[in-house]
Amino acid sequence: MIYQRSSALFEEAEKVIPGGVNSPVRAFKGVGGTPIFVKEAKGAYLYDEDGNRLIDFINSWGPMILGHAFEPVVEAVINKAKKGTSFGMPTEIETKIAELAVSMVPNIDKIRFVNSGTEACMSAVRLARGFTGKDKIIKFKGCYHGHSDSFLIQAGSGASTFGVPNSPGVTQGTAKDTLLASYNDIEGVRKLVASDQNEIACIIIEPVAGNMGCIPPHDRFLQALRAICDENDILLIFDEVMTGFRLAKGGAQELFNINADIICFGKVIGGGLPVGAFAARNEIMNHLAPLGPVYQAGTLSGNPLAMAAGLAMLNELNNDESVFNRLAEKTTYLHDGISKVLAENNIIHTINRVGSMISVHFDEGKVVDFDTAAKGNNDRFKKFFHGMLNQGIYIAPSAFETWFITDALTYGDLDFTIEAVNQVAKTL
Ligand code: PMP
């Protein structure tokens, strides 16, 4: 494939934007080469500035669960835009999407909308601290909760790709309040809680980790976390920025039948516009300003275009009884197909999958936490990435990311992808 125009556009971008991108993983630093500039997208396909068509397995890192330029979302945004794009005053549509979200997600009474997943997680932790009167938090190595200071301690996603899981600029004072555990290691969590008794406000976790590849929680791991939280007056925060409205209507809480205390959302909830949200029961949410003392605000929070896109998306997901099964079936088909051709080509691999999240690791051991994810053969991943790109398939430009399956993919697209893996496997 030819990427002349993308290369030229990247050179121009580098002059005026740090690294040429507005979010680091986009720069292809993890895999080498020049990032692709998108011109437009429809359904399961991206069309780049050089006229190439790519089957998209990233889908804006999750939001486009029903495909790009999904008609009801586009219509809703156009219609809203004609009536004004921001007021900084309440609008009815904010209540409508809040009511719908509260009806879909278990165990929440109220939801507050913000503009990104980062803001959602940052605000959720502040609320947990304000509610409990405690300062420390526990997070898991390799989990990513956005780029706010408390979370850039052994963070996953781009932070891992670039080898800066701890960012300069995060003060020692902030870092000391973030305690680290290993994903799926309940004993490690018990030890932390025992040594910092009565100081821990919350445990924040991706209920299915998606920022070190896709890593499912071990059987009973989330339940054990729930029990530890209950025994120690710690709030359990599920960061469902990836899993919310993706793994089920009610997200991971519904899938695993477990209640968290605060739930963070992003990605799908905004239908592709900049939206995040956090939600909880009344007793917790009523601590937020203006009802309570925990401050949180936003000029563009609840923005009408963003709410229109999110409402159209959630309505669609709420009304389509089979969408989550369809997504899981497509992902299972892809999993089985890729597994088969990699095995036939004698390529050592492990594939992890939950619902419509999936990741391919070039290592034979189980991938259960950050350390096992980091063991994968990164050189092979880079070759795999570029090989797939040459076949017209766009996967995440880093081994530390999950792929997001969209319902717009046909089985023909999946067969094409599996055959591409077969071809690429011969070159690895
Ligand atoms: N939490 C999780 C689980 C995420 O995957 C991400 C982003 N990939 C975030 C939080 C941060 O969201 P945003 O990029 O919208 O700030």
- Beta strand 110-114 with 403-404 is unpaired
State the distance from the centre of ligand 1 to the C-alpha of 114, rounded, in angstroms: 13
State the distance from the centre of ligand 1 to the C-alpha of 61, rounded, in angstroms: 9
Is residue 83 flagged as an active site residue?
Answer: no
Residue environment code for 26-37, b if the CB has 16+ CB neighbours within 10 A, otherwise e? ebbbbbebbbbb
Are 284 and 177 members of one domain? yes
State the distance from the centre of ligand 1 to the C-alpha of 124, rounded, in angstroms: 13
Which protein residue's CA is at the shortest distance from atom 7 of ligand 1?
Answer: 146
Which atom of ligand 1 lies closest to the CA of 267?
A: 15
State the distance from the centre of ligand 1 to the C-alpha of 341, rounded, in angstroms: 32
Report the pLDDT value the prediction gives residue 67, as an integer from 0 to 100. 98
Which atom of ligand 1 lies closest to the CA of 240?
A: 3
Which protein residue's CA is at the shortest distance from atom 10 of ligand 1?
Answer: 145
Residue in the structure block whose two tokens are 């555990």: 181
pLDDT in tens, 328-356: 999 999 999 999 999 999 999 999 999 99
Q: Which of the following is catalytic: 48, 56, 80, 144?
A: 144
Which protein residue's CA is at the shortest distance from atom 5 of ligand 1?
Answer: 242
Report the pLDDT value the prediction gives residue 168, as an integer from 0 to 100. 87
Pair 55, 393: CB distance under 8 Å: yes
Q: Which of the following is catalytic: 80, 136, 267, 330?
A: 267
State the distance from the centre of ligand 1 to the C-alpha of 117, rounded, in angstroms: 5
Tell me which of 23, 114, 118, 273 to substitute to probe ligand 1's pocket, judged by most ligand atoms within 8 Å of the beta carbon: 118
Are 11 and 77 members of one domain? no
Are 280 and 336 members of one domain? no
Among 283, 301, 319, residue at a domain's last position: 319
Q: The CATH number of the domain where 75 resides is what?
A: 3.40.640.10
The number of distinct structural domains making up the chain is 2
Residues 91, 38: Cα–Cα separation, whole Å: 33
Task: With CA atoms as reference, report the closest residue to 110 among 290, 243, 303.
Answer: 290
Are 312 and 336 members of one domain? no
Are 334 and 413 members of one domain? yes
- Beta strand 200-205 with 178-181 is unpaired
Sequence-ordered strand ranges (E) for 186-345: 200-205, 235-239, 262-265, 276-280
Tell me which of 267, 300, 301 to substitute to probe ligand 1's pocket, judged by most ligand atoms within 8 Å of the beta carbon: 267
Is residue 149 flagged as an active site residue?
Answer: no
Tell me which of 22, 121, 208 to substitute to probe ligand 1's pocket, judged by most ligand atoms within 8 Å of the beta carbon: 121
Are 44 and 182 members of one domain? no
Are 107 and 234 members of one domain? yes
Which atom of ligand 1 lies closest to the CA of 157?
A: 8
Q: Residue 401 corresponds to which tokens in the numbers above?
A: 């990311």
- Which positions of the chain have pLDDT values less than 70? 156-165
Among 319, 349, 367, residue at a domain's last position: 319
Which protein residue's CA is at the shortest distance from atom 3 of ligand 1?
Answer: 241
Are 358 and 413 members of one domain? yes
Q: Residue 205 corresponds to which tokens in the numbers above?
A: 């976790």
Q: How many CB atoms lie within 10 A of CB 416?
A: 15
Among 261, 289, 319, residue at a domain's last position: 319
Which atom of ligand 1 lies closest to the CA of 274?
A: 15
Task: Please state, for a pLDDT cut of 70, what percent of the chain lies above it.
Answer: 98
The residue type found at 125 is V
Alpha helices in 82-153 (DSSP H): 92-104, 117-132
Residues 272, 310: Cα–Cα separation, whole Å: 8
Residue 216 belongs to domain spanning = 71-319
Residue in the structure block whose two tokens are 């690895």: 428
Q: Which of the following is catalytic: 56, 177, 239, 261?
A: 239
Report the pLDDT value the prediction gives residue 167, as an integer from 0 to 100. 84
Ligand 1 site residues, Cβ closer than 6 angstroms: 61, 116-118, 121, 144-146, 157, 206, 210-211, 239, 241-242, 266, 276
Are 156 and 186 members of one domain? yes
Which atom of ligand 1 lies closest to the CA of 61?
A: 8
Tell me which of 22, 145, 160, 264 to substitute to probe ligand 1's pocket, judged by most ligand atoms within 8 Å of the beta carbon: 145
pTM confidence score: 0.97
Are 177 and 147 members of one domain? yes
Q: Residue 281 corresponds to which tokens in the numbers above?
A: 């029961």
Would you put residue 168 in left (φ > 0), alpha (ψ -120 to 50) or beta?
beta
Q: Residue 88 corresponds to which tokens in the numbers above?
A: 């900084």
Pair 424, 384: CB distance under 8 Å: yes
Q: Residues near 181 by Cβ (< 8 Å), separated by ≥ 6?
A: 138, 139, 140, 141, 188, 189, 192
Residue in the structure block whose two tokens are 């976790």: 205
Report the pLDDT value the prediction gives residue 165, as an integer from 0 to 100. 60
Q: The CATH number of the domain where 380 resides is what?
A: 3.90.1150.10
State the distance from the centre of ligand 1 to the C-alpha of 147, rounded, in angstroms: 8
Report the pLDDT value the prediction gives residue 158, as an integer from 0 to 100. 65
Residue 290: asked if its preceding bond is cis (omega within 30°), the reply is yes
Residues 361, 345: Cα–Cα separation, whole Å: 15
Are 83 and 62 members of one domain? no
State the distance from the centre of ligand 1 to the C-alpha of 412, rounded, in angstroms: 31
Residues 55, 75: Cα–Cα separation, whole Å: 24
Are 146 and 190 members of one domain? yes
Which atom of ligand 1 lies closest to the CA of 276?
A: 15
Is residue 382 flagged as an active site residue?
Answer: no
